[in-house]
Amino acid sequence: MESSRKNPIILLVLILLFAYGLRVMVLASADISNDEALTYLRVFNFFEVQTPWTPVLRPRHLVHTLLLQGWLPFADHEMAIRYPSVLFGVLSIAVAYQVGRKLDGERVGLLATVMLSVLPLHVYYSHYLKQYAILAFLAMVALWALLTVTRGGSTHRRLALIAYPVSVVLLTSLHIFMSVWIAVQSLYLIIVWWFKRERDLLVMWIAAQAGVFMTAMALLIPDLLQEGGTLENFKRPELAALQEFINRGLGTQSFFGGDFSPVPDLILWGVMLALLAAFVIPLVRERETDRLGRVALLVGLVFIPPLLFFSVSHVWRAMYAVRYVVLSIWTLTLLASLVLARFRYGWASLIVAGYLIVASVYNVGQYHVDSRGYSPYEQWHEPLTYLQEHIQEGDYVVCRKTAICTLYGRHLDFAYAVDKDAIKDQINWTDADALHSAVQSNERTWVFWARRWRPGPEQLLAEQPGVVMLEHVEYPWMDLYLYAYDDSATGP
C-alpha cells in the first residue's frame, strides 16, 4: 500500500525534472524578443538613473518588476533573467497534477503533467521573460483552490480558502484583463454558495472581490490621471478596451451589428453566462462524481472568458485575448487527460509516448536548429561592437528591434553615446520609400538587417536615386549596412 502511494510521487518528480531540464536546455537558445528586452531594461534601471531608453514603469509592471529585481543579482547575463519563468513554468505543471487529482485521481494528474511538460506553447512561455509563466502558475493555483473549496472534503480546505483570494489578486496585479477570467469564477462561487450556504465560501468570495477591485483601481487610476483624467484622453489599451466593453454591453456598439445596433452584445454575454450556470448547477446538486460534469466545469470556467473578450474587437486587435487562449490550452490538457484516463493502459501509453516524441523533437529542433548554434547575445555582440568602433557623431541608426539594440549596446556604451533620436524602429521593412526617406534625411545611416527579412536593403534601395552603400558587413544571421546620400546623383 505504501509503495503504491509513493510511486506516483516518484513518477511526478521524474516528470518535473524532465520538464525542468527541457526548459533550461532551451533557455539561452531562443532569440530574445523586443518585449523581453523592454522588460529587462525596465528591471535593470529600476533603482538607477533613468535614461532616454528606460521604459516607463507603470503600476501594472510593479509586481513583476520587483520579482525580477530580486533575481537580478543571480543573473550574470540577459538569458539568466529568464530563469524565474522556468521555475514558475515547472511549478505550474506541479499544480496541474493537483488539479488533475481533484478532477479524477492520480492518473489524470500524471497525464496532465506529462502533456504540459513538453507542450510547445508551455515550453515557450516557460522561458519567456514576461509574466505569462507566472500567470499560468497562479491560474492553476486559483483553479486548484476553487475545486478544493467547492467540491467537498476537508483536506487542504483552509489552505485553499487563503490561496484563492491571494492568487486572484496577484493575477490581477500582473495582468488586469485577468479580472474577467476571475469574474466568471466568481459567478461559479456564488452559485455554489447559493446551494450549499457555507459561510467560509462567502467570506472567501468577498475577500477575493475586494482584493481584485482594489488592485484594479490601483493599476488604473494612476494611469488615468496621468493621461488627462478622462477616458477620451486615455490612450492605454486597458481603459480603452474597458470603455468599448461597456459600450458594447449597453448596445451603443455591437460586434455583430455595427454601431448603434438594436441588439446589444449584452445579450450574447447573458447567453454565455447562462451556459456557465447550466454547467455549474448540476455539479452542486450532488453530481460531483459525474465525469461529464467535470468537463463542463472546466469548459465553463476557462473557455467562456475568452469568448467574452473575443466579442470586444479592440481587445482582439490588441491581442490581449491571446493570454486567455494560452490559459485555455493549459486547461485543454486537463480535458485531454480526462479523456485519456478512460483508455486502456496500453493505448493510453502508446498515445502519450507518441505525443512525447513528437513534441520533444519539435522543441529541440525549434530552439537549436533555427538558432544555428549562436546565442542571442553572440548574435548581437559582434555587429554592435563593430558599430561602436565605427559610429560617428550624428549618425542615424535604423534597428528594427530598438530595445534589443539598446540592451546589448548598453554593454558597449554605444547606445548612450549617440543622440536619443538616433535609435529608430519606425521603418516599414517592405517599404522602399520609407527606408529611402531615412537614408535621404541623414548624412550617414546604419541599418541592421536580419537575413530572414526579405527583400533586403540591396533590393529595396537598388533603384533609389542618390543612395550610396559605404559598407556592408556580413554576420552569421544578420548584415550591417552603412549608407550615405549623394545629392549630386539625383540629377537636376
Once rounded to an integer, what is the mean pLDDT over residues 146-168? 83
- The DSSP call for residue 5 is H
105-153 pLDDT, tens digit per residue, is 788 888 888 888 888 878 888 888 888 888 889 888 988 888 888 776 6
Q: Is 120 left (phi over 0), alpha (psi -120 to 50) or beta?
A: alpha
pLDDT surpassing 90 at residue 166:
yes
pLDDT at 170 over 70: yes
- Closest by Cα among 154, 152, 182 to 166: 182
Asked if the model's pLDDT at residue 208 lies above 80, the reply is yes
pLDDT at position 16:
92
Residue 401 pLDDT exceeds 70: no
Least confident of 172-176, 211-215, 248-252, 274-278: 248-252
CA dihedral 426, 430, 431, 437 (to 10 degrees): 60
Higher-scoring residue by pLDDT: 320, 130? 130
> Which pLDDT score, from 0 to 100, does residue 313 have?
41
Q: Is residue 286 over pLDDT 90?
A: no
pLDDT of residue 2: 42
Measured between alpha carbons, how far is 250 from 10 in angstroms, rounded to an integer?
54
Who contacts 50 (Cβ-Cβ below 8 Å, separation ≥6)? none
Q: Span 254-262, mean pLDDT? A: 41
Mean pLDDT of 380-389: 78
17-25: long-range contacts, CB 8 A cutoff, minimum separation 24: 18/117, 19/89, 19/90, 19/93, 19/113, 19/116, 19/117, 19/118, 20/86, 20/90, 22/117, 22/118, 22/123, 22/360, 22/363, 23/86, 23/89, 23/90, 23/123, 23/126, 23/127, 24/86, 25/364, 25/367
User: Rounded to 10 degrees, what is the CA torsion of 471, 472, 473, 477?
Assistant: 150
With beta carbons less than 8 A apart as the criterion, state whether 465 and 491 touch: yes
pTM metric for this prediction: 0.72
- Report the range out of 86-90, 251-255, 427-431 with the highest average pLDDT: 86-90
Has residue 4 got a pLDDT over 50?
no
Q: Pick 390 or 294 by higher pLDDT.
A: 390
What is residue 99's predicted lDDT score, i.e. its pLDDT?
A: 85
Q: Which has more pLDDT, 299 or 239? A: 299
Before 455, cis peptide (omega within 30)? yes
Q: Can you tell me the mean pLDDT for 184-212?
A: 82
- Selection from 90-104, 356-370, 434-448 with the highest mean pLDDT: 90-104
Scanning 199-236, the segments in alpha helix (DSSP H) are 199-226
pLDDT given at position 91: 94
Q: Which three cell numbers stand for residue 422?
A: 538616433
For residue 378, what pLDDT is reported? Answer: 62
Cell 525580477 belongs to which residue? 68
Around Cβ 185, how many Cβ atoms within 10 Å? 23
> What backbone phi and psi angles, to 5 degrees, belong to 450?
-70, 145
The residue among 25, 8, 9 whose CA lies nearest residue 118 is: 25
Q: What is the pLDDT of residue 244?
A: 54
Say yes or no to pLDDT of 426 above 70. no
pLDDT attached to residue 247: 53
Residue 259's pLDDT band (cuts 50, 70, 90): very low
Output the pLDDT for position 132: 83
Question: What angle is formed at CA 274 by the lines to CA 288 and CA 206, rounded to 5 degrees?
Answer: 70
Q: Which of 64-73, 275-284, 408-417 ranks highest by mean pLDDT?
A: 64-73
| Structure-block grid coordinates of residue 51 | 535614461
Cell of 368: 537549436
Read off the pLDDT of each residue in 435-450 and give the average, rounded to a whole number. 79
pLDDT per residue over 195-204, tens digit each? 777 888 888 8
Please report the DSSP string for 339-362 in residue order.
Answer: HHTTS-HHHHHHHHHHHHHHHHHH
Return the higher-pLDDT residue of 82 and 220: 82
Region 452-465: mean pLDDT is 74
DSSP class of residue 90 equals: H
**Position 338 pLDDT exceeds 90:** no
Query: Which carries the bigger pLDDT value, residue 298 or residue 260?
Result: 298
* Backbone φ, ψ for residue 472 (5° rounding): -145, 110
Mean pLDDT of the chain: 70
CA distances to 115, 339, 481, 483 from 406, in Å: 38, 49, 18, 21
